Structure 1
Amino acid sequence: MGSIAVSSAELLQAEADIIRHSVGYLKSIALHCAVKLGIPDALHRCGGSASLAQLLAALPVPLPPTKQPYLSRLMKVLAMEGVFVASASGDDDVYHLNTMSRLLLEGGMSPCVMLSTTPQFIGSAMRLGQWFLSEGEEATAFMMANGGQIPHDTGAHDVEFNSVFNQAMAADSRHLADLVVRECVEVFKGIGSLVDVAGGTGTMARAIAKAFPHVKCCVLDLPHVIQDISPAPAPALADNNNVQFIAGDMMEFIPPADAILLKYVLHNWTDDDCVKILTRCREAIISQHGTAAAGNGKNGKVVIIDAVVGAPSPGVDVLQTQLLMDMEMMSLFMAKERYEHEWSKIFMEAGFTNYKIQSTLGLRSVIELYI
């Protein structure tokens, strides 16, 4: 321990903290179990509150009798972590939905939990120590854990993982879409067309098209992502909600439009790749508007929804989440969450000279990027 005098109380607290951090992964697994067992929806069916007995009866798949006594231990952990609220009623504990667990109801953010706790994601996190010791930058921790494949390749070859991934992206977009169209109305003023780059199954684009009928929306994504949206084999697939789907690679070409949307895209990529993507975005805007851009969005812009770490002055929980997300990006893609000065650097390298940041979406900000 060195020569620094440490009290018994400090030692015991440090011991407890080390153990708590060492088994912290069980918080993620407990949350995974809650979604897997359908606990949030079961509580919802009970009116938002239930005793353990009522909860057991409401689960979509009954637990074997030998496992039922253990549910209380899972619920205590989840309540301690704030996922549910616990209260005493006589000799029984009663559990209640709160804002967090309501986000896990069907149609909410449960798929995001299931993606973060897939064997592929957890396995990549377990390889981080090995990754730090490895020479070169050829392989990510994800690749080490998944036979050399990158996440996009895994999605192309693993139907189950691809389904979980697409469901998670759609769930995140549903959750975010309501906030975006409510809090960011000014962003979409004066826009006649928009390309949602890597827009998945089109959840965000549909929400924008519905909220702003004057905006013609298009989704660009890889063929295996949009292949199930329509059986038509043509590259461009018409959708019944003013949204068109185009199979393509954003590294090669982005269709011209007034606005290019990058929602949670750039944090998946290295700085060099981000410059390539943003260069394609700039080319798409110039193709639509010509080179006489005004620098204020009137002649087209890129709209980025992503984290700006530490902006403007987040609480401890938000900052901790952003830093944990940064580690996840490092393990999956060797990419990162960025501070404002890091964003500014790649903007300038891609040929953009002006931008505006609105920190209105909690963990995420809205960046309007102008030529």
Structure 2
Amino acid sequence: MGDEEEAKASVEIWRYALGFAEMAAVKCAIELKIPEAVENQTSQPVTLADLSSAVGFPPPLLRRIMRFLAHQGIFKAVPTKDGATGYTNTPLSRRMMITNRDDKSMAHMILLSSNPVAVASYLKLSSAVVSGKGFQPFEAAHGKDAWAYAAEDPGYRETFNEAMACDTRRVVPAVTNTCADIFDGVSTVVDVGCGTGEAMGMVVKAFPWIKAFNFDLPHVMAGASEFEGVENVAGDMFGLIPRADAVFIKWILHDWSDEDCVKILKRSREAVPKEKGKVIIVEAVVEQKKEDDDDDKLEYARLLLDVVMMAQMKNGRERNMEEWDHLLTEAGFVRHEVRDINDLQSVIIAYVS
């Protein structure tokens, strides 16, 4: 066993030594719209010459990028009739289409993770671990927290908003399909921290009887989209949240400390009716023991997301079920349940009564 572990380690270590180069290659493919170029060619598999012509870049470096991405299984290398190497898309490469705004594309999330602004904070992570509480990698790298930076940098703000929107397009359909019953008897929903506002557009489309509200800070709402059946409202979630039968809050609480989460949850509880009110939370739940191998792979992503939060947010973190129990109890909810949607995130429904 020792020799086997040593042999495995001698190979695996290269993933960490050269991992940033893999991210760079993927980022390159997204920015050059290589998956789109492959998809749009009528003749398949796509030769290097045709691909080069489609993306408008010379073949030599493109060939090396494609060789690596095909080796990783992102694209599929297929022999052409002439015996040359051609390329086809895979389900993975299609998830890297930046022009594809369906519920599978993760291109904008990848561009956020590989953005130099985000990467700079990762490089300060060891200082945060050494210093303990009080040291924030993003602030150390940029002189201000992530929210202040995004407010002042339109380019980074757009990258961040697009990444959150692509997650919304991916996960909200899973919520409405898998947990449709939680919207039974619900006439109004408010999305707290709505960002671009797409989530409520999807909810209203799935459940047309619902009147929805998008709720976020004024500068965020200024750029929010308009959707039929959805009203945009500016405000502060630490202040007064618009009243509704249900509060929807996705990927917001993991940005904040326990103390701030309790404040947000209390405001959310106050916004819904005592008789039938509920708060629908879409967040990761780490350290859940499951037998499913696919979920074990998702746990890898959840734990990586926790590292991202450590680098990006002053008090951000992913939480286990015991920690969620504590927050919801402190916020005054009488009961809650967790729904698995076969995703990085779960749905936590907190009830007022």
> Is the structural similarity TM-score above 0.5?
yes
Residue 312 (structure 1) shift: 5.5
Amino acid at match of 1:173: T
Amino acid at match of 1:100: L
Separation of aligned partners in 2, 1:87 and 1:255 = 55
SS at match of 1:94: strand
Of 318, 327, 337, 2:318 maps to 337
Separation of aligned partners in 2, 1:345 and 1:49 = 54
Separation of aligned partners in 2, 1:228 and 1:362 = 28
1:109 equivalent to 2:106? Answer: yes
Of 241, 245, 253, 2:232 maps to 245
2:300 is aligned to: 320
Residue 23 (structure 1) shift: 1.4
SS at match of 1:77: helix
1:146 is aligned to: 142
User: What's the CA shift string for 1:283-315, capped at 9, x where partnerless?
Assistant: 111xxx24xx4xxxxx11000111112445253
Residue 100 (structure 1) shift: 1.9
Residue 70 (structure 1) shift: 1.7
Q: Provide closer, same or farther for how the CA distance between residues 10 and 283 of structure 1 changes in structure 2, counting only shifts above 3 A.
A: closer
Of 48, 53, 56, 2:52 maps to 56
Separation of aligned partners in 2, 1:319 and 1:205 = 27
Amino acid at match of 1:52: L
1:216 equivalent to 2:197? Answer: no
Separation of aligned partners in 1, 2:200 and 2:241 = 15
User: What's the CA shift string for 1:187-213, capped at 9, x where partnerless?
Assistant: 211100001011111111111111111
Residue 11 (structure 1) shift: 4.2
- The 8 Å contact of residues 311 and 359 in structure 1, kept in 2 or not, is answered as no
How many residues end up aligned between the 2 structures?
341
Q: Provide closer, same or farther for how the CA distance between residues 95 and 191 of structure 1 changes in structure 2, counting only shifts above 3 A.
A: same
- The 8 Å contact of residues 197 and 224 in structure 2, kept in 1 or not, is answered as no
Please, which runs of 5 or more residues in structure 1 have no aligned partner?
A: 231-238, 294-298
Of 79, 96, 121, 1:124 maps to 121
Amino acid at match of 1:267: H
TM-score by length of 2: 0.90
Q: Provide closer, same or farther for how the CA distance between residues 353 and 240 of structure 1 changes in structure 2, counting only shifts above 3 A.
A: closer
Separation of aligned partners in 1, 2:5 and 2:140 = 39
- The 8 Å contact of residues 112 and 169 in structure 1, kept in 2 or not, is answered as yes
2:330 is aligned to: 349
Separation of aligned partners in 1, 2:135 and 2:148 = 14
Q: Decide which moves more: 87-96 or 19-28.
A: 87-96
Separation of aligned partners in 2, 1:27 and 1:305 = 30
Of 187, 194, 202, 2:197 maps to 202
Q: Decide which moves more: 72-81 or 269-278.
A: 72-81
2:270 is aligned to: 283
Residue 347 (structure 1) shift: 0.8
Of 99, 107, 110, 2:91 maps to 99
User: What's the CA shift string for 1:192-239, capped at 9, x where partnerless?
Assistant: 000101111111111111111111100111122221348xxxxxxxx4
- The 8 Å contact of residues 279 and 351 in structure 1, kept in 2 or not, is answered as yes
Q: Provide closer, same or farther for how the CA distance between residues 279 and 49 of structure 1 changes in structure 2, counting only shifts above 3 A.
A: farther
Separation of aligned partners in 2, 1:153 and 1:199 = 18
Q: Decide which moves more: 190-199 or 137-146.
A: 137-146
SS at match of 1:345: helix
Residue 179 (structure 1) shift: 2.4
- The 8 Å contact of residues 45 and 58 in structure 1, kept in 2 or not, is answered as no
Residue 12 (structure 1) shift: 4.8
Q: Provide closer, same or farther for how the CA distance between residues 340 and 29 of structure 1 changes in structure 2, counting only shifts above 3 A.
A: same
1:273 is aligned to: 260
SS at match of 1:217: strand
2:223 is aligned to: 228
* Root mean square deviation of aligned Cα: 2.0
Separation of aligned partners in 1, 2:145 and 2:88 = 40
1:363 is aligned to: 344
Residue 49 (structure 1) shift: 4.0
SS at match of 2:338: strand
Please, which runs of 5 or more residues in structure 2 have no aligned partner?
A: none
Separation of aligned partners in 2, 1:119 and 1:274 = 29
Separation of aligned partners in 2, 1:92 and 1:187 = 54
Separation of aligned partners in 2, 1:229 and 1:344 = 32
Separation of aligned partners in 2, 1:51 and 1:181 = 41
Give the % identical residues: 35
Which aligned pairs between 1:64-75 and structure 2 lie closer than 5 A? 65=58, 68-75=59-66
- The 8 Å contact of residues 219 and 245 in structure 1, kept in 2 or not, is answered as yes
